């Protein structure tokens, strides 16, 4: 087991990790999470920006990431994991955090450009 897997072995108690761990190695489960979480947040961001768009791209990314971090700090780590060891894993926590922020920001910018015409001229 690699160092990143060993430091994140307590992840298996949360539902996505419990399901992933049942069928995949912990390392593969963490990679699926690191890829899937930003995709999910990009879709959520697109929906939010198209329906509401109350905040700009940077604010949206900060708020969405803040909610994720808060949930990890007050619910996932103490209640489900019964440990804060998950924060020692770059692949399990920090890389997904960065990718969620980036996906949310980029999707917000792209959605705002698309809704404002994106600088494209109409066909003649």
**Residues 107, 44: Cα–Cα separation, whole Å:** 9
- 17 lies in which domain range? 8-115
Tens of pLDDT, residues 46-74: 999 999 999 999 999 999 999 999 999 99
98 in any annotated domain: yes
2 in any annotated domain: no
Q: Checking phi first, is residue 32 left (phi over 0); if not, alpha (psi -120 to 50) or beta? A: alpha
pLDDT at 103: 98
Q: Distances from the Cα of 8 to the Cαs of 13, 26, 29, 66, 122, in angstroms?
A: 11, 8, 11, 21, 52
pLDDT at 120: 53
Report residue 25: phi and psi, to 5°.
-70, 165
124 in any annotated domain: no
120 in any annotated domain: no
**Residues 116, 75: Cα–Cα separation, whole Å:** 38
123 in any annotated domain: no
**Total structural domains in the chain?**
1
Mean pLDDT along residues 32-36: 93
pLDDT at 118: 60
Which token pair is 37? 């979480």
70 in any annotated domain: yes
**Residues 63, 7: Cα–Cα separation, whole Å:** 28
3 in any annotated domain: no
pLDDT at 80: 84
76 in any annotated domain: yes
Residue bearing tokens 């963490």: 30
């Amino acid at each position: 087991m690699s160092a990143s897997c060993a430091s994140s072995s307590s992840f298996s108690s949360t539902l996505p990790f419990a399901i992933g761990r049942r069928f995949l190695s912990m390392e593969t489960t963490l990679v699926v999470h690191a890829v899937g979480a930003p995709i999910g947040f990009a879709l959520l961001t697109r929906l939010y920006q198209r329906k509401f768009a109350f905040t700009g791209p940077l604010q949206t990314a900060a708020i969405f990431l803040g909610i994720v971090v808060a949930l990890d700090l007050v619910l996932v780590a103490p209640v489900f994991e019964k440990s804060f060891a998950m924060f020692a894993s770059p692949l399990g926590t920090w890389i997904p955090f960065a990718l969620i922020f980036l996906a949310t920001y980029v999707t917000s910018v792209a959605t705002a450009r698309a809704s404002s015409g994106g600088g494209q001229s109409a066909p003649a």
